[in-house]
Amino acid sequence: MSVLLVALGAAIGAPLRYLVDRAVQARHDSAFPWGTLAVNVGGSLILGVLIGGAAAGGVPGSVVTLLGTGLCGALSTYSTFGYETVRLFEDGDRFHALLNVVASVVAGLGAAFAGVTLAEAIWPA
């Protein structure tokens, strides 16, 4: 059953990632990968809420499997983040490459922390 939940979540997360990435990137005339940053930060926030909610007993494991592993796993993308950072660096845009690394790590961790904090407010232990 878990494999089906992961597959269903991923079937939603992958196209959602593509659509959000393209919509965000289309609004910016920049080499900086705003779309990838947006999906990764959004995925971190969602996963933070799910894990925080599960830890408090408010989110069942099946929902974490569906949305956390499936949806967030397909929505967020470490490989694209890595590729785009290397591409920026190789193109000589070292400032945006470094900005991408710092912004992705700081914003991703901040979003995960915010998600856990939000979950703790929704489902107090």
Angle between helices 34-55 and 94-122 (to 10 degrees): 30
Question: Is residue 58 annotated as involved in ligand binding?
Answer: no
Distances (CA, A) of 25 to 29, 39, 79, 114: 8, 11, 17, 24
Q: How far is 87 from 65, CA to CA, in rounded Å?
A: 33
Question: Is residue 76 annotated as involved in ligand binding?
Answer: yes
Burial class (CB in 10 A: 0-12, 13-18, 19+), 66: buried
Which positions make up the binding site?
73, 76
Which positions make up the binding site for Na(+)?
73, 76
